[in-house]
Amino acid sequence: MAGTDHSVAPIARGPSIVLVEPQLGENIGMVARAMANFGLADLRLVNPRDGWPSDKARAAASRADHVIDAVRLFDTVEAAVADLTYVLATTARPRDSFKPVRGPDEAGQELRSRIEAGQAGGILFGRERFGLSNEEVGLADEIVTFPVDPAFASLNIAQAVLLMSYEWMKSGRGENSRPRFVAPEVAPASKDDLHRLFHHLEDTLDEVGYFYPPEKREVMVANLRTMLTKAGFAEPEVRTLRGVLKSIDRALGEHRS
């Protein structure tokens, strides 16, 4: 489509787009193009199947070179979202999870609200063939799903990114009524801090034999992580909880000795 003005700078700031194990360079390129259409530029890839950089991705991006050039690679989803404080996971099917579920319009508004408040937000998109695993969804704060025809609910990855990018852009338009004053903002914990809390808690619970029987450990860990993610801890709260766990660890060490 004609009409692109390449002299106009991309709109600054917006949610990070995280693609988990994307398979085709062409799909990554179409995602970059969709992002550029709506002012997004932070594209993160977790283990792209065909490696990176990709000539096919650049060709399919249709001159969204600023997005392609800024792509960052990660080995794990945890690493890709470590610096974020609010993460949405996209999924087309119900999950065995107690996480809040939003539609794309509501999710766009929530992203806008948090990012304008200085938080770092992001959206997880899964593999072309089977999406995100339950464990990966468990790393997000909330789920976003699209109101598509249940008889044909499959969206390709570029379509899904396009929809969320559009909702992000749309959320910034129109008059937003704001209260005259608000409560002081407390910085939310980064995902890296939260993941450290997960691992510390799980190690301590292993030490006291909480995960019993052993074959249920994976499900029990997933439930704990869901509860901790839903809490929306601030960074000082995570520090306090880590301090509590360290005290328990010391007491366990003294008891053993």
Instruction: To the nearest 10°, report the CA torsion of 159, 164, 168, 169.
Output: 10
- The reported pLDDT for the residue numbered 34 is 96
Same fold across 16-170 and 191-256:
no
Per domain, the residue ranges of the chain are 16-170, 191-256
Residue 97 has a pLDDT of: 66
Q: What is the pLDDT of residues 215-246, one digit of tens each?
A: 999 999 999 999 999 888 999 999 999 999 99
Q: Does 20 have pLDDT greater than 80?
A: yes
User: Each residue of 30-58: pLDDT tens digit?
Assistant: 999 999 999 999 999 999 999 999 999 99
Higher pLDDT, 10 or 254: 254
Q: Which residue has the higher pLDDT, 9 or 247?
A: 247
191-256 CATH pick, 1.10.8, 3.10.450, 1.10.3470, 1.10.238: 1.10.8
CATH topology for 16-170 is: Alpha/beta knot (3.40.1280)
- Give the type of residue at 117: A
Kindly state the average pLDDT of the residues 63-91: 96
- Position 1 pLDDT exceeds 80: no
pLDDT digit string (tens) for 85-138?
999 999 877 766 678 899 999 999 999 999 999 999 999 999 988 889 999 999
Residue with the larger pLDDT of the pair 141 and 181: 141
- More confidently predicted of 107 and 179: 107
Q: What is the spatial distance between Cα 160 and Cα 123, in angstroms, rounded to a whole number?
A: 11
Per cent of the chain over pLDDT 90 is: 73
Dist. CA 83–CA 63, nearest whole Å? 28
Residue 170 half-sphere exposure, CB side, CA atoms within 13 Å?
12
Q: Positive or negative CA dihedral for 130, 133, 139, 143?
A: positive
d(CA 70, CA 118): 21
